[in-house]
Amino acid sequence: MTSAVIRTLVLLHVRKILAEKSNLFWMFGMPIMFTVLMGMMFGTTSSSGPSEAPEVTVYDASRSAASGDLIASLGGREQYRIVVADTVGSEDLARQLVDDGRRTAALWIPAAFDDSLTAGRPAPLRFFFDSDRASAQTSRTALAEAVRRLDAIQGGRHAAGAGEFDQAVFDSLWAEPRVVLAATTLGRQQQEESALAGMSSGFQHTGPSYTLMFVMMFMLMSVRDIVLERRAGTLTRLRLGAASSTTLAAGLFLGPLLVGLAQAAVLLGFNTLLPSMDYGDSVATLIVVMVLFTGVSSALALVAATFCRTTGQADGMGMTVSMLMASLGGLWWPLEIVPGFMKQLALMLPSGRAITVFHNMIGRGWGLTENAPHLLWLVGALLILMVLARVRLRRLIA
């Protein structure tokens, strides 16, 4: 019985939406238009500048063949760029760069590097990095490899110099490497690397963000529907027909939720047709974040409806809430470019949490575990709003 009532309420919601053809434009036409146009705008800015790989500075005091070779084998990668400083620099300067957060990693090659190597003495290297940043981690791994390679080359030279392979010499080199890498982590936990760094196209922001925005907006537009139902008396009719007011509340929550999910599926699906658009590797995260966000929106709309008496109030409320959620929550522009306190504020909104999860999925390849704090926040918000909606509706429909 209960499930038949809920199914009917969902069917009713779908019918009401389909009866008004302009709804389809609001649900699909508008968001697609915005995604494409705004994505193209963001696309041009991100290809120059902010999305470039972070710099790893090298102070090369030795300026020798060996140091040049080492730097060359560090190479440039997708995740970082090696920039050799013009000045000789110093160990302290290198440390300073990372400490200040100006670089994710910095390498200092002492002046005696080449001489020590040639003389067979240990040749130290100083590397400072921020262990929280992906680019620093990668450059550190690359440096370790380059050092091993240099050591092996030294071994090879010695072996070749002796005319034949001398295992004793090799073993001594193996046990006591000539190039000594001293890597120092400068933990800068609070400063995470921007997820934007891992994103290559404006669509990667506008795709998910306009999907979130229009799903929420369309749902808040339906606040007016519930107000109308109340005024027309159809809500009373539903109350008479539905077995209990809990069932009625469940139906009023699920109808928009399912329609919102269908809308999201279409929009997210369309987005994948855009250049360099994907949602990372975790389909589960994509589904979970979308269900949670849509659920939160539906519950929010229901709560909002109980506070509105007229359609004018409903429209005003819907417009204000969706504008605030979208702008402050980072759906209009990426949160990565707003000041810290605005970022904190955004994380107090479901929209801010949801888009952060999307950026983490797309820019960092994060899944359920890494996004857990945001997803759990959304679960909490959903529960609170559902309880609130239930309480408010009970007062409304007795």
Pick one of 16, 77, 158, 392: the residue that binds another protein (CB under 8 A). Answer: 16
Q: How far is CA 185 from the centre of its chain?
A: 25
- Count the residues in the chain: 398
Nearer to another protein, 18 or 324 (CB): 18
- Using alpha carbons only, what angle is made at residue 301 by residues 249 and 367, rounded to the nearest 5 degrees? 100
12 lies in the site for another protein, by CB under 8 A: yes
Cβ at position 256, least distance to another protein in Å: 16
Which stretch in 9-17, 155-163, 324-332, 370-378 sits in contact with another protein by CB under 8 A? 9-17
Measure Cα distances from 353 to 296, 332, 341 in Å: 12, 14, 15
Nearer to another protein, 9 or 117 (CB): 9
Nearer to another protein, 108 or 218 (CB): 218
CA distance 135 to 240: 62
Cβ at position 235, least distance to another protein in Å: 8
Cβ at position 340, least distance to another protein in Å: 47
Question: Pattern 361-380, binding to another protein, x per CB under 8 A?
Answer: --------------------
CA distance 165 to 169: 9
4 lies in the site for another protein, by CB under 8 A: yes
Nearer to another protein, 273 or 398 (CB): 398
CA distance 367 to 276: 19
- Using alpha carbons only, what angle is made at residue 47 by residues 42 and 52, rounded to the nearest 5 degrees? 125
Which stretch in 2-10, 304-312, 364-372, 384-392 sits in contact with another protein by CB under 8 A? 2-10
Residues forming a β-bridge with 123: 179
Nearer to another protein, 8 or 313 (CB): 8
What DSSP state is assigned to residue 198?
A: G
Cβ at position 46, least distance to another protein in Å: 43
Pick one of 5, 223, 303, 385: the residue that binds another protein (CB under 8 A). Answer: 5
* Total residues in contact with another protein, by rule CB under 8 A: 26
Cβ at position 253, least distance to another protein in Å: 17
Nearer to another protein, 238 or 355 (CB): 238
CA distance 286 to 151: 46
Question: Pattern 206-245, binding to another protein, x per CB under 8 A?
Answer: -------------------------xxxx-xxxxxxxxx-
8 lies in the site for another protein, by CB under 8 A: yes
**Contacts of another protein in 19-78 (CB under 8 A):** 19-20
Measure Cα distances from 213 to 28, 54, 81 in Å: 12, 31, 36
Cβ at position 332, least distance to another protein in Å: 32
- Give the relative orientation of helices 311-328 and 203-221 as an angle to the nearest 10 degrees: 160
- Give the relative orientation of helices 223-232 and 311-328 as an angle to the nearest 10 degrees: 160
CA distance 11 to 15: 6
**Contacts of another protein in 244-273 (CB under 8 A):** 244
Nearer to another protein, 172 or 236 (CB): 236
Nearer to another protein, 242 or 328 (CB): 242
DSSP assignment of 240-295 equals HHSS-HHHHHHHHHHHHHHHHHHHHHHHHHHHTTSTT----S-HHHHHHHHHHHHH
Instruction: At 279, list the tokens.
Output: 């949602």
Nearer to another protein, 240 or 273 (CB): 240
Task: Name the site residues for another protein (rule: CB under 8 A).
Answer: 1, 4-5, 7-9, 11-12, 15-16, 19-20, 231-234, 236-244, 398
